[in-house]
Structure 1
Amino acid sequence: MASLFAFLRVISLLKAVWTAYSAFYLFRNYLAARKIGLPIRIIPISHTNPFWMLVDRHFISFIRQLPFGHNSFTRYNYRGWELADRYFSHHELGDAFIVVTPGRNWLYIANPDTIVEVFRRRTDFPRCLELTEILNVFGPNMSTVDGLQWKKQRKMTATCFNEQNNEIVWSETLGLANDMINYWSSKALLKTVAHDTRTLSLHVLSKAGFGKSFKFEGHDERKESSPSTSYKDSLQTILENCVLIMALGTKFLENPWLPQGLRRLNEACNAFQKYMTDLYEEEKQAFAEGRTSGRNLMSSLVRASQDEAKTGVGLTENEIYGNMFVFNFAGHDTTAHTFTFALYFLAANPQAQDWIYEELCQVLGDRQPDEWNYGVEFPRLKRCLSIMLETVRLYTPVPVAKWTDTRTQSLNVGAKTVVLPPDTMVIPSYASVQTDPKYWGSETLTWSPSRWIKTSNSTTANLEDEELITPQHGTFIGWSEGSRDCPGRKFSQVEFVGTMAVLFRDWKVDPVTQSGETIETARERVLRLIKSDSAPVLLLQMLHPERAPLVWKRR
């Protein structure tokens, strides 16, 4: 009993020390924030506190049920609060305000000109590498380095994303999407599209990234196999468990005493590493012998690095592996989550399905997918692309965090110049600026892809006269902005548009009605689910899409 009391006293002492420590730094950061001269909101726990991140949403949900439950703590003190808040805080507090935490101060900005300035001043406001270092799974990469290292890596990785690779993405997407809709339409109801869109995205990356094609398998058709026997299975295992890998690290996973699930994950990491090593050596040999190899991302990256090494310093082997992992991680999860959001929005909006069907009929006619030409058809499918743009506008999967690092920086916010101390986070308020009525008109919180289309000739109703709008600079940053924008932007757009074309040329999708529901109330329920069930895990996603099963029907 005495030992129990002693243990409890130690716990109480640690809690008291932690509380005092947090209170001291919270007060210190508050004093620093007051000197900046912007509106302030104070929260007692840092956003990035790992223990808080495990319970934040559940705890906040509980507190909100109490009489005093609506305050700054429940409004701002959880990951993804920006999604629920949208532009309302900035309309209350102005173009910029500061959230004070015990860790550091967070400056949120929703002035388009200020956002553009932050992205333009890349060296003054670098990415906070503390938040991205978990991506160093297989080696340093564009997301985890800065300065001269980043310039070198960006120069060589940019050459990989070209029109030749986009043609591979297009043709592979069409075939896989066709198999996917055949699988979906064979079912009386589809519990969720999320698993299968991840598979489609994985297979597109397998072809475009490594030159390997795989037949589409629906979620219920997948068979368990050892990740060491197949490149596809090893990569799929890694991508489905990347949060665990990033949290634990590949070195920890090598421990033989770990449970079977983690040993299997280690097996997948080793198999994928070996596959990349073998392919790397093959590409180096082909380059040395002057042979032409595939047009995939891996071959392009190796060749770009070998070319650079003739006059400078190419990428190391680990840097190539690190960037290939990030290509797969970023291209897989971001696109798959965007597919899921878009398909549920479309299920709730049959008029939008009819709208893109009209475009598909005019552009594609009766021709089959193997007759569709990337260079001809993709630029004409503007409505299909607008589905992606509108979905990303409301649900940007990867917000970017900047900071002042170790230096003091001045920043223009409207007519005011503020001075930011070192270690200040600088956050472009995506969820605010991309929904603010000042820039997007009325009904900005409503999913409406037609807002992206304008007609160049008002006297005709010809779809060929339609054009995509160009938003005001700094008001749409779904693929980031400036020199560190996403190099795979068009890759993802080609994959998305190709999938939409195959799915909705001959098919339409509806939510499955529950007992006593009409189809209209079912659609309203899906929209409520998207709004209430979306939150960041590692990236922003729908947490439980299976709560709204879908059904596909031929037109």
Structure 2
Amino acid sequence: MSENRKYNYPNKLSILRFFLDAEGVRKNSIPYHKRYFDKLGDSFSLKIGKSKHLILSRDNEVAQYILQKNQKNYYKSKFQSVYLSKYLGKGLLTVDGEFWLKQRRLIQPAFHKQKMNQLVENMNDTIVAELDSLVTDQSVDVFPVMSQVAFNVVAKSLFQLSVSDEKLNRIKYIIEEVQNFLVKEIRLPHKAWWFSLSGQVEKHLELAEENNKIIQEIVEDRITSKEEINDLLNMLLETRYEDTGEGMSVKQLIDEIKILFIAGHETTANALTFTLYLLAENPELQQKVFEEITEIQSETIDVVEQLQKMTYINAVLNEAMRLYPPAWITDRENVEDDNLAGYNIKKGTLIGVSFYELHRNPKYWENPEKFLPERFLGEQKKQSMQYFYPFGAGPRMCIGAGFAIYEMCLTISNLVKKYTITSVNSEIQFNPLITLKPVGVKILFSKR
């Protein structure tokens, strides 16, 4: 497309409106996004400075185009490639282009369904052990409980039993500290000078480096021991690049492990918390989950076979992730000029897709605000899956999606089998950070 050709963008949000709303958007952007979409349409734009444009969309055509149909022209934004990589290194989540493709091809086999099936027994044992100390008959803030469960499932799947709790707890602490600071950096860019001057940036970079050293020690201990342990670390150590036949360097392995920890535990904890809240609010659907797991467990004691039969539990999880997608927004920048949904856009346009709004767009969903798991059963499921992005889409779809589904199905089935779940909150609250984080969701667990 010629540089002289006129570019055109969706309906524009005025820069004045943007600045007037800026503080509210910083605290919780979702109500503002909905207001803008309702007023301006399923995609709207904002001009920043003389030439930079931003598009925010809840249009399925836009999502499919940038994530699947023409994904090669759409790279992750600087938020992921610069901000995240500063602390997380260069792993699958933060890199693009040829290097990303090389890493994806290398790591993908470790997440093949057959490999995941080998981890299921260990995963289930970890979940059962974690839930054993669950407080009953009093209000429980459920997110910290689910966060601990999800973190330990990832940790024990990565390292099985070869790492001390002290090291794992330190990794968890560092990850949470760095993530919280990262959110501050992104949301308060005008305070960058202060974060640097006050030593906060340096402090968190040091924490990230400490994390690297802990993981490096774990990896090198395993390599030295030459132990064959059935965990993700072993699977990653066995992977080989197609062109050289060599494995990953220890440095690269550390970066990928950090990504697996971060991508693998908070999003899962979020989804589990929202799912438990929705089941607590809908006791008749909770009863259906109970009946399904009771029936399945009477048919087989094999955990992999049980997972394959959890049709209704899967539908419940999908519908919970439709309403509250853990990765609630994604962004891309186009490498070259393009035509996006009828708009001629300049290269370097920042495009955000709100999965939260797309999943509630009445254009695609009937009664979009209602919790209806049957959307993901039988014939209805085919229709729903066209507009459903809990793990993204296209070549960059979350590599651990199968792992997460197994983990969530096992957690929900173990909880509902043992407990009746009652809601303490009448309304749900959340904070749209890097992920959609539930806030103060209180649940009552009573033994059946």
**Residues 298-343 of structure 1, C-alpha deviations (whole Å, 9 max, x = no match):** 2222221xx2277266533322211110110011110011111111
Among 111, 116, 120, the residue aligned to 1:170: 120
Q: Is the 8 A contact 1:153 1:315 kept in 2?
A: no
Per-residue CA distance 1:49-74 (angstroms, 9 max, x = gap) = xxx9xx95xx43xxxxxxxxxxxxxx
Name the residue aligned to 1:302: 237
Aligned to 2:423: 511
Tell me the amino acid that sits aligned with residue 179 of structure 2: V
Query: Cα 1:317–1:39, aligned 2, differ >3 Å: closer, same or farther?
Result: same
Counting only pairs closer than 5 Å after superposition, residues 218-297 of structure 1 correspond to structure 2 as 230-244=166-180, 246=182, 269=208, 272-284=211-223, 293-297=228-232
Change (3 A) 1:114 1:551: closer
2:13 matched to 1:41? yes
Q: Is the 8 A contact 2:80 2:93 kept in 1?
A: no
Distance across 2 between alignment mates of 1:469 and 1:434? 14
Tell me which residue corresponds to 2:29: 81
Unpaired segments of 5 or more residues in structure 2? Answer: 186-195
SS at match of 2:139: coil
- Determine the C-alpha separation between the residues in 2 that align with 1:349 and 1:171: 30
Q: 1:247 to 1:509 in 2, by over 3 A?
A: closer
- Residue in 1 that maps onto 2:158: 209
Q: Are the aligned partners of 2:159 and 2:231 in contact in 1 as well (CA < 8 Å)?
A: yes
Alignment of 1:111 with 2:59, yes or no, is yes
The answer on 1:436 being equivalent to 2:383 is no
Match in the other structure for 2:72 = 123
**Residues 48-67 of structure 1 mapped to structure 2, 5 A cutoff:** 59-60=23-24
CA distance in 2, matches of 1:83, 1:325: 32
Q: Which amino acid aligns with 1:432?
A: E
Question: Residue by residue, what CA displacement relative to the aligned partner does 1:121-174 show, whole Å, maximum 9, x if unpaired?
Answer: 222111113344333225311122111111111111212213354235532343
2:388 corresponds to which of 476, 481, 485: 476
Looking at structure 1, the residues matched to 175 and 407 of structure 2 have their Cα atoms a distance apart, in angstroms, of 18
CA contact (8 A) 1:341 1:391 kept: yes
Change over 3 Å in CA distance of 1:300–1:434 after alignment to 2: same
- Residue aligning to 1:145: 95
Which of 353, 369, 377 is equivalent to 2:306? 377
Specify the alignment match of 1:450 in structure 2: 374
Secondary structure of 1:446 counterpart: coil
- State which drifts further: 316-325 or 492-501: 316-325
1:188/1:551 contact within 8 Å kept: yes
Please say which structure displays the higher CA radius of gyration.
1
User: 1:132/1:79 Cα in 2 relative to 1: closer, same or farther (>3 Å)?
Assistant: farther
* Maintained 8 Å contact 1:173/1:200: no
Instruction: Give the letter aligned to residue 484 of structure 1.
Output: R
Give 1:229 deviation, angstroms. 8.1
Distance 1:537 1:508 in 2: 31
Write the distance in 2 (CA, Å) between the matches of 1:450 and 1:83.
27
1:543 matched to which residue of 2? 439
Residue 500 (structure 1) aligned to one of 412, 416, 434 = 412
Say if 2:326 and 2:437, in contact at 8 Å, map to a contact too.
yes
Tell me the alpha carbon deviations over residues 5-43 of structure 1, each in whole angstroms, 9 at most, x when there is no partner.
Answer: xxxxxxxxxxxxxxxxxxxxxxxxxxx9x9415211123
Query: Residues 438, 245 of structure 1: CA spacing in aligned structure 2 closer, same or farther, 3 A cutoff?
Result: closer
Query: Which residue, out of 288, 298, 302, partners 1:355?
Result: 288
Q: Could you tell me how far apart the structure 1 residues matched to 2:155 and 2:227 are?
A: 19
Q: Tell me the CA shift for residue 199 of structure 1.
A: 0.9
| Aligned residue pairs, count | 429
User: For structure 1, which runs of at least 5 residues remain unmatched after alignment?
Assistant: 1-31, 61-76, 215-227, 250-254, 456-467, 513-524
Counterpart Cα distance in 2 of 1:473 and 1:450: 12
What is the alpha-carbon root mean square deviation over aligned residues? 3.5
Q: With CA pairs under 8 Å and 6+ residues apart, which has the higher RCO, 1 or 2?
A: 2
Q: Report 1:325-336 matches (<5 A).
A: 325-336=258-269
Contact kept in structure 2, 1:46 and 1:101, CA below 8 Å: no
Task: Tell me how far apart the structure 2 counterparts of residues 360 and 229 of structure 1 sit (CA, whole Å).
Answer: 31
Partner of 2:72, secondary structure, is coil
